[in-house]
Copies of this chain bind each other. A is one copy, B any other.
Amino acid sequence: MPSALVLIADGTEEMEFTIVYDTLVRAEVKTTSAFVPDTPSPSHSISPPAAKGSRGIKIMPDIYFDNAECGPDRYDLLVIPGGAKGAETMSNNVGVQHLVRKYIEENKFLGMICAGSLAAQTSKLPKQALTSHPSVKAQLEKDFDYSEDPVTISGKLVSSRGPGTAFPFALTLVELLCGPEKRAEVRAPMVFPANTPF
């Protein structure tokens, strides 16, 4: 059974977080959410607080983000959602930057959506195809081959644009982890309108 870690912080875009997490669970991917605090936390021995999303929905993370327990030895996929403030917290976190490089080094999947793509830059990933929310395009286009595709795949790095591309992003991650049959199996009961292009 593949496994995935989805990061969450105060200011995370709650639709992007929820669509990815829920869709992975529907595909039977063992999915865990990890809270990234915006200031160093005194102790991780207690349960993490509720993360307050970008539009005010409060979500309880499963665990605290921790370098030793969130690495590519534990999970097959690391996902960094958007939401300006949440993505800033994650992309500026040295531990997250370290793990972003480590997932790529260990040939595991890395997903970034919306402003979450800024983590590719702060982690100094090499120049390659990348997309993001249009609001951070200007920051990224000098360091990456900027794409405007809804979902952009570069090796193990999968990037996407915003809440409106979160379903094709999540379904692509399911396909990469579990195969095209599982993608189709998960997609059908979601009841997308006819002619939906993903």
Contact = CB atoms under 8 A, between A and B. Distances in A.
Interface string A1-38: 00000000000011100110111011000010100000
Please list the 7 inter-chain residue pairs (A to B) with the smallest Cβ-Cβ separation, ordered nearest first. Answer: A164-B192, A162-B191, A164-B190, A58-B60, A25-B55, A150-B193, A161-B191
Given A31-B56, A57-B59, A163-B190, 11 more contacts: A15-B22, A22-B54, A26-B55, A33-B57, A58-B60, A150-B191, A150-B193, A162-B191, A165-B191, A165-B192, A193-B198
A184 to B, nearest CB: 13
A3 to B, nearest CB: 14
Interface string A183-198: 0000101111111111
- Which of A50, A56, A168 gathers most chain B CB within 10 Å? A56
How many residues of A sit at the interface, in one of the four size bands? 35 or more
Given A50-B60, A60-B50, A55 B193 contact: no
Contact of A134 (B21, B50, B191): B191
Interface in A143-177: 150, 161-165, 167-168
Interface of chain A, main secondary structure: mixed
Number of copies: 2
Contacts of A196: 164, 196-197
A14 to B, nearest CB: 5
